Amino acid sequence: ELAERCASLFNSRLLDGIHLTITAGPTREAIDPVRYISNHSSGKMGYALASAAADAGARVSLISGPTNLACPERVKRIDVVSASDMHDAAMAEMGQCQVFIACAAVADYRPANCAEQKIKKTDDSMRIELVRNPDIVSAVASHPQRPFTVGFAAETQDLLRYAKDKLERKNLDMIVANDVANTSIGFNANDNAVTVLWPTGNQTIAQMGKRQLAAQLITLIAQRFLSAEN
C-alpha cells in the first residue's frame, strides 16, 4: 500500500492537464431484442487505468461497454453497448484528447442483421451471418490529428508475435500484450501481467494486482508520450 501511495504521489504530476481517453469493457452485438454476442472482458483493467490516469493528474474520459463496475472518481464515463456505439463515442472524444488507450475488448464482428422480434427456434441448426465491426484503434491511429495511441492485444496463443504485428500494422505508439489463456490473469481476474511493446523497445511487468499494474502502465505510457512530445 505504501508503494502504491508513493507511485500515486510520483504520478500526481506526470499527466497534469493532459486529456486522456480510455475505452474499457466488452461490447454487446445484438442478434435480436433478447440475444447478443459478447466476451469475457470485465472492464477491470480499463477502469483501473482510468483511475490511475486521474491520479496522475489527467482529465479522463472512460468510454465503457456494459460492466458492473462503479465509475472511478474524477473520471467522466460515457456508456455504450455495441462496437458501433463505441466507435462513434471514440471519434467524438478523439479530437479533444492527447492520449488514447484502447483497452476495451471490442467485438470484431456483429450480426449482419439484428432481428426486430425474438427469433423463434424452429430448426435443429441455425447460422448467424456476421460482418466486421469498425476497427476503433486503427481509426484513431490513422487520423491526421491522431493522439498518442496505445492498443491492447488479448490473445490465447503466439501473444508477442500477434502484438508486434498489431503495433506495426495499426500504426500504434504502444501496445500492451495480455495473455488471456492464463486464467490467473487477464479477463475477470484481479491480477494481470503484461508485456508492453513500442517501436523501439519493450518492457515486461510481472504479475500483480490490476490497480498496481495500472499505475505502472500509466507511468510508462506517460513517459513515452512525454518523450514523444519533446
Q: Please report, as ranges, the residues that interact with a copy of itself according to CB under 8 A.
A: 31, 33-40, 68, 105, 107-109, 112, 117-118, 121, 123-132, 154-157, 180-181, 187
Nearer to a copy of itself, 71 or 128 (CB): 128
Question: Taking the complex as a whole, how short is the minimal distance between the CB of residue 117 and a copy of itself, in angstroms?
Answer: 5
Q: Virtual CA dihedral for 111, 113, 116, 122, nearest 10 degrees?
A: -80
Question: Taking the complex as a whole, how short is the minimal distance between the CB of residue 161 and a copy of itself, in angstroms?
Answer: 12
Alpha-carbon distance of 216 to 60, in angstroms, equals 17
Residue 141, judged by CB atoms within 10 A of its CB (0-12, 13-18, 19+), counts as: buried
Residues pairing with 78 in the sheet: 63
C-alpha cell at 7: 507511485
Nearer to a copy of itself, 13 or 40 (CB): 40
Q: Which of 39, 133, 178, 192 is catalytic?
A: 39
Question: Taking the complex as a whole, how short is the minimal distance between the CB of residue 82 and a copy of itself, in angstroms?
Answer: 13
Nearer to a copy of itself, 5 or 121 (CB): 121
Nearer to a copy of itself, 35 or 74 (CB): 35
Residues shown for the chain: 230
Alpha-carbon distance of 211 to 149, in angstroms, equals 21
Question: Taking the complex as a whole, how short is the minimal distance between the CB of residue 94 and a copy of itself, in angstroms?
Answer: 22
Query: Does residue 39 carry a catalytic annotation?
Result: yes
Question: Taking the complex as a whole, how short is the minimal distance between the CB of residue 227 and a copy of itself, in angstroms?
Answer: 33
Q: Can you say whether the dihedral through the CA atoms of 215, 187, 63, 84 is positive or negative?
A: positive
C-alpha cell at 215: 499505475
CB atoms within 10 A of CB 15: 26
Nearer to a copy of itself, 130 or 205 (CB): 130
Residue 56, judged by CB atoms within 10 A of its CB (0-12, 13-18, 19+), counts as: buried
Catalytic positions are 39
